[in-house]
Chains A and B, each alone.
Chain A
């Protein structure tokens, strides 16, 4: 018969192994902070572009001249967003890979694949929906759409990640809904959701897990 201490150690080992097998524990908090910084830089660049090229935020529907200008801005803005996304992803992969190496844990585990699948489904769906809306000239949908689908993606991936990711997901969804209710402030909400929130939750995770 086992001693109480042995049973206690058994329980601890089960808890550890369950956590280790199902969670991606290498996610770097620092990469979250940096992703937030990139997003703020991107938002600043977008603000500069939109204010210097001066598109009115309303009443443009029947003004072909202004629509022409808005379309001119579409690609530069798209490029900024793509750069922010690419830089965030690369930073995330590099820093998380480094963290995995430092702790001697595997980077590519079944949990990693599941996270990528669970993130991709809402993100690809959201991407298609947002681009479709852009085609119809519904520019106001971009910011709330990004926030909502990103929040849903985080929520879908959160069972295999730190709990902070779930809270970040909830925060993005709530912000996305509010953003949808207040047209004209898209960039402000986008910068809050992708900039401030990433820095805040990234810092929380950095304090808790990175050191």
Chain B
């Protein structure tokens, strides 16, 4: 049997990174502060995870000024979208093998 974990993306293993990718997959773009509020996290924590995703070119950063205040928006890249999808598929594959636990939850 092949190991389902081999399709796992190391960069995406952290839950917050998955949530960031989820938000960006479901929305055209999102700004830092709204994202911070939504994920209920701190500036530093969010910035670290965003940096990691940026380094992998999973997200695109757009810096601009709104009323002379810096405004940073994030978008998911094509590369990020396919990586996110692949990782989700792998996760689902693993969850599928635990039907009894799921049924208990219902």
> Is A7 in contact with B95, judged by CB distance below 8 angstroms?
yes
Main secondary structure on A side of the interface with B: helix
- In Å, the complex CA distance between A37 and B19 comes to 41
> Is A14 in contact with B19, judged by CB distance below 8 angstroms?
yes
Which residue of B22, B31, B91, B94 contacts A18 across the interface (Cβ within 8 Å)? B22
Q: If A13-B19, A109-B34 touch, does A4 touch B94 (CB 8 Å cutoff)?
A: yes
- In Å, the complex CA distance between A4 and B95 comes to 6
**B18 close to A (CB within 8 Å):** yes
Q: How far is the CB of A100 from chain B (nearest CB, A)?
A: 14
> Is B95 in contact with A8, judged by CB distance below 8 angstroms?
yes
> Is B88 in contact with A21, judged by CB distance below 8 angstroms?
no
Q: If A14-B22, A18-B22 touch, does A7 touch B27 (CB 8 Å cutoff)?
A: no
* Residue with the greatest number of chain A CB neighbours at <10 A, chosen from B5, B18, B19: B19
> Is B18 in contact with A8, judged by CB distance below 8 angstroms?
no
> Is B95 in contact with A11, judged by CB distance below 8 angstroms?
yes
Contacts of B22 in A (CB 8 A): 14-15, 17-18, 21
Contacts of B23 in A (CB 8 A): 17-18, 21-22
- Closest chain B residue to A6, Cβ basis: B15
Main secondary structure on B side of the interface with A: helix
Contacts of A181 in B (CB 8 A): none
By a beta-carbon cutoff of 8 Å, the part of chain B in contact with chain A is: 5, 13, 15, 18-19, 21-23, 25-27, 30-31, 34, 37-39, 88, 91-92, 94-95, 97-98, 101-102
Which residue of B5, B21, B27, B91 contacts A11 across the interface (Cβ within 8 Å)? B91
Contacts of A11 in B (CB 8 A): 88, 91-92, 95
**A2 close to B (CB within 8 Å):** yes
- Pairs A–B under 8 Å by Cβ, sample size 20: A4-B94, A4-B95, A4-B97, A4-B98, A5-B101, A8-B95, A8-B101, A10-B18, A11-B88, A11-B95, A13-B15, A13-B19, A14-B18, A14-B88, A17-B22, A17-B39, A19-B26, A20-B38, A21-B26, A110-B30
Q: If A10-B15, A14-B88, A17-B19 touch, does A22 touch B27 (CB 8 Å cutoff)?
A: yes
A11-B92, A110-B27 given; name 8 further pairs at CB < 8 Å: A2-B13, A4-B94, A4-B95, A13-B18, A17-B38, A18-B22, A21-B26, A22-B27
By a beta-carbon cutoff of 8 Å, the part of chain A in contact with chain B is: 1-2, 4-5, 7-8, 10-11, 13-15, 17-22, 106, 109-111
- In Å, the complex CA distance between A117 and B94 comes to 40
> Is A4 in contact with B38, judged by CB distance below 8 angstroms?
no
- In Å, the complex CA distance between A12 and B102 comes to 12
Contacts of B37 in A (CB 8 A): 106
Contacts of A10 in B (CB 8 A): 15, 18, 91
Q: How far is the CB of B51 from chain A (nearest CB, A)?
A: 20
- Closest chain B residue to A8, Cβ basis: B95
- In Å, the complex CA distance between A111 and B102 comes to 31
- Closest chain A residue to B98, Cβ basis: A4
